[in-house]
C-alpha cells in the first residue's frame, strides 16, 4: 500500500477532494520543507547560518524530507486547481447574444 502512495505522490497523481486531507497535505508539506525554508531565511538575514552547516548524514535526511514536502506541495496545488476547475464548470455559462450563427438565419 505504501508503494502505491509514494508512486502517486511523486508522479503528481495523488488526488483528493477532502478538505481534511488537503489541510494535512499542506501542513505536512510545510513542515517537511521547513529545513530548506529556515536555511534560506538564515542565509538572507545576515546572521551566521546554523542549518547550512549540518553534518552530511543530517543534510541527506533533511534533503529527503524536503523532496517529499515539495512533492506534497505540488500535489496540493494540483488538487486545489482541479477543485477550482470543477467548481467553475458547475456554474452554467451565460448564452452569448448575437452570435454569427444566429445572424445568418
Rounded to the nearest integer, the mean pLDDT of the chain is 80
The verdict on residue 38 lying in a domain is yes
Residue spans of alpha helices (H) in 1-105: 2-11, 19-32, 34-45, 56-90, 100-103
DSSP state, residue 53: G
The verdict on residue 2 lying in a domain is no
The verdict on residue 102 lying in a domain is no
Residue range 42-58, pLDDT digits in tens: 778 877 766 656 666 66
Phi, psi at 50, each rounded to 5°: -110, -40
**Stretch among 19-28, 85-94, 96-105 having the lowest mean pLDDT:** 96-105
The verdict on residue 101 lying in a domain is no
Q: Domains in the chain: how many in total?
A: 1
The verdict on residue 3 lying in a domain is no
- Residues 37, 96: contact at Cβ < 8 Å? no
pTM passes above 0.85: no
Domain range spanning residue 41? Answer: 15-91
Amino acid at each position: 500500500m505504501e508503494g502505491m502512495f509514494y508512486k502517486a505522490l511523486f508522479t503528481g497523481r495523488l488526488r483528493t477532494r477532502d478538505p481534511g486531507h488537503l489541510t494535512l497535505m499542506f501542513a505536512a508539506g510545510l513542515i517537511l520543507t521547513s529545513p530548506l525554508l529556515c536555511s534560506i531565511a538564515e542565509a538572507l538575514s545576515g546572521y551566521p547560518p546554523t542549518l547550512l552547516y549540518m553534518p552530511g548524514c543530517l543534510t541527506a535526511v533533511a534533503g529527503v524530507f524536503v523532496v517529499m514536502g515539495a512533492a506534497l506541495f505540488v500535489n496540493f496545488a494540483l488538487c486545489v486547481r482541479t477543485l477550482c476547475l470543477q467548481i467553475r464548470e458547475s456554474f452554467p455559462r451565460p448564452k452569448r447574444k448575437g452570435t454569427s450563427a444566429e445572424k445568418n438565419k
